[in-house]
């Protein structure tokens, strides 16, 4: 009897045409996520199997349960399809579990097996009743459900089924560029985008010396947390100081944030094209701050024709925080380091900016050459699973 992890696919099973693409992507992502483990992954059309040893099985399950595109993970005992062997294994497994009521469910995928599913369930049920005292069968609401799946060579006895995250395998939808600040919202936006199959690259704007190394390391740390879902993530770091200082010097304070965000979008769009990303992703949420009113969003968005996905646009802050806590980014996000958006912050940013005024103010300085320079000098790093953590 050996333990095998059985992977059931999610939503993709209904998408016949893309099925192989989906399965291959899950396989690839799983392979990357488990690169440090001694495992054998076997894929077939309706499920995947991971063979590993008893010592690492829990770690492997913990990693695999965060791979998008998987519906559930079953820890099974695999035995030869042989009635005696199945029976002795069932007893070995059930004797270790505490329960008062139970039910056996058999799925006979191999019709050459001589006993029908129904009869086999009854037979195993009787065997358990005979060997374990003080228990009874309850077909409607059993405390313990024992599942047996009979296939041609092997039979799988389910020990535990764990629900996974669902979604689509990361990368199946193409690449997106996430505008990642050190805040609460953008890592959550990145997570939600990955859940729909988008592979992330990230862009971070820093303004040294006004923003610190600690602030940058915080962003790197956030990326490394997102590695849970995508084993390797590129981070583009843009030095935004010159542009920000020019804005501070030349722009009406009311419009500083509007113009600053228009600059961020312009740079992000160029980096997106250089890196074959298809969409921008950010953590904007309608109404949260002055730059996220619908008028502000439309004036800011006006600099680009690239689709912008805002996964948390319609979530309440508390809903975003819930997700941030669940995906483990919250504790890092709330560390108190300055973001380039919070320095030089005007007291009264405009809530309903006008496009014409923005265009007029922007004539005050030669932002195009500054943008070119910032992109030319950008630093790009790749942050991967199992890499050292970032000291903050
Ligand atoms: P967050 O919690 O994600 O920082 P926020 O509520 O503080 O968001 P803003 O600071 O207005 O909102 O930023 C809105 C979005 O713009 C962020 O979610 C992020 O996607 C992007 N953004 C802001 N600052 C930066 C930055 N320094 N680098 C990259 N992207 C940024
Ligand atoms: Mg922010």
pLDDT digits (tens, 9 = 90+) for 221-245: 999 999 999 999 999 999 999 999 9
| Virtual torsion, Cα 167, 173, 179, 185, nearest 10 deg | -20
What is this structure's pTM? Answer: 0.92
| Atom 14 of ligand 1, residue of closest alpha carbon | 284
CA–CA dist 222, 180 (Å, integer): 9
At 336 the pLDDT is: 87
Strand arrangement, sheet containing 232-239: 308-309, 279-281, 174-179, 198-206, 232-239, 379-384
CA–CA dist 164, 153 (Å, integer): 27
Residue in 340, 355, 344, 243 with CA at minimum distance from that of residue 296:
355
At 341 the pLDDT is: 65
**Cis peptide preceding 209, ω within 30 of 0:** yes
Instruction: Give the whole-number percent of the chain exceeding pLDDT 90.
Output: 84
Q: Which ligand is nearest to the CA of 282?
A: 1
C-alpha distance across the termini of the chain, in Å: 47
Asked if the model's pLDDT at residue 338 lies above 80, the reply is no
| Atom 6 of ligand 1, residue of closest alpha carbon | 185
At 11 the pLDDT is: 65
Asked if the model's pLDDT at residue 9 lies above 90, the reply is no
Q: Tell me which residues have their CB within 5 A of the ion that is ligand 2.
A: 181, 183, 339
At 20 the pLDDT is: 87
Average pLDDT of the chain is 93
Asked if the model's pLDDT at residue 14 lies above 70, the reply is no
Q: Is 349 in the pocket of ligand 1 (CB under 6 A)?
A: no
Q: Is 340 in the pocket of ligand 1 (CB under 6 A)?
A: yes
Give the range among 135-139, 286-290, 341-345 with minimum mean pLDDT.
341-345
- Give the three-state DSSP class for 176: strand
CA–CA dist 49, 23 (Å, integer): 12
323-343 mean pLDDT? 88
CA–CA dist 115, 9 (Å, integer): 28
Strand partners, 73: 7, 162
Q: Which ligand is nearest to the CA of 301?
A: 1
Query: Which burial class, exposed, middle or buried, applies to 130 when counting CB atoms under 10 A from its CB (0-12, 13-18, 19+)?
Result: exposed
Q: Is 329 in the pocket of ligand 1 (CB under 6 A)?
A: no
The values of phi and psi at residue 180, to 5°, are: -110, 115
Asked if the model's pLDDT at residue 181 lies above 60, the reply is yes
Band of the pLDDT at 90, cuts 50, 70, 90?
very high
265-302, pLDDT tens digit by residue?
Answer: 999 999 999 999 999 999 999 988 878 899 999 999 99
Distance 184 CA to ligand 1 centre (A): 9
Q: Is 205 in the pocket of ligand 1 (CB under 6 A)?
A: yes
139-155, pLDDT tens digit by residue?
Answer: 999 999 999 999 999 99
| Atom 4 of ligand 1, residue of closest alpha carbon | 183
């Amino acid at each position: 009897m050996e333990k095998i992890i059985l992977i059931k696919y999610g939503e993709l099973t209904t998408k016949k045409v893309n099925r192989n693409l989906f399965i291959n992507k899950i396989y690839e992502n799983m392979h990357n996520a488990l690169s440090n483990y001694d495992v054998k992954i076997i894929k077939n059309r309706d499920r995947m199997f991971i063979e590993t040893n008893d010592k690492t099985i829990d770690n492997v399950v913990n990693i695999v349960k965060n791979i998008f595109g998987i519906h559930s993970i079953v820890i099974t005992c695999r035995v030869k399809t042989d009635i005696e062997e199945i029976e002795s294994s069932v007893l070995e497994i059930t004797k270790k579990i505490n329960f008062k009521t139970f039910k056996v469910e058999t799925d006979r995928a191999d019709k050459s097996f001589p006993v029908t599913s129904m009869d086999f369930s009854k037979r195993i049920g009787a065997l358990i009743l005979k060997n374990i005292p003080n228990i009874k069968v309850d077909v409607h609401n059993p405390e313990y459900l024992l599942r047996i799946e009979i296939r041609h060579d092997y039979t799988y006895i389910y020990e535990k089924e764990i629900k996974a995250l669902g979604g689509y395998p990361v990368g199946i939808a193409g690449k997106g560029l996430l505008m990642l600040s050190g805040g609460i919202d953008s890592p959550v936006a990145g997570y939600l985008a990955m859940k729909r199959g988008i592979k992330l690259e990230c862009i971070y704007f820093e303004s040294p010396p006004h923003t610190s190394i600690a602030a940058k390391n915080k962003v790197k740390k956030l990326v490394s947390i997102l590695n849970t879902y995508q084993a390797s993530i590129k981070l583009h770091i843009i030095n935004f100081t010159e542009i920000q200082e020019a804005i501070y010097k030349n722009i009406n304070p009311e419009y500083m944030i509007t113009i600053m965000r228009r600059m961020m979008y312009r740079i992000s769009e160029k980096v997106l094209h250089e890196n074959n990303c298809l969409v921008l992703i950010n953590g904007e949420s309608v109404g949260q701050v002055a730059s996220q009113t619908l008028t502000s969003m439309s004036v800011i968005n006006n600099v680009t024709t690239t689709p912008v996905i805002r996964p948390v646009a319609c979530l309440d802050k508390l809903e975003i925080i819930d997700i941030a806590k669940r995906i483990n980014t919250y504790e890092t996000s709330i560390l108190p380091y300055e973001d380039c958006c919070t320095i030089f912050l005007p007291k009264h940013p405009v809530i309903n900016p006008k496009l014409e005024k923005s265009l007029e103010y922007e004539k005050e300085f030669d932002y195009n050459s500054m943008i070119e320079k910032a992109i030319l000098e950008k630093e790009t790093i790749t942050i991967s699973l199992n890499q050292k953590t970032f000291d903050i």
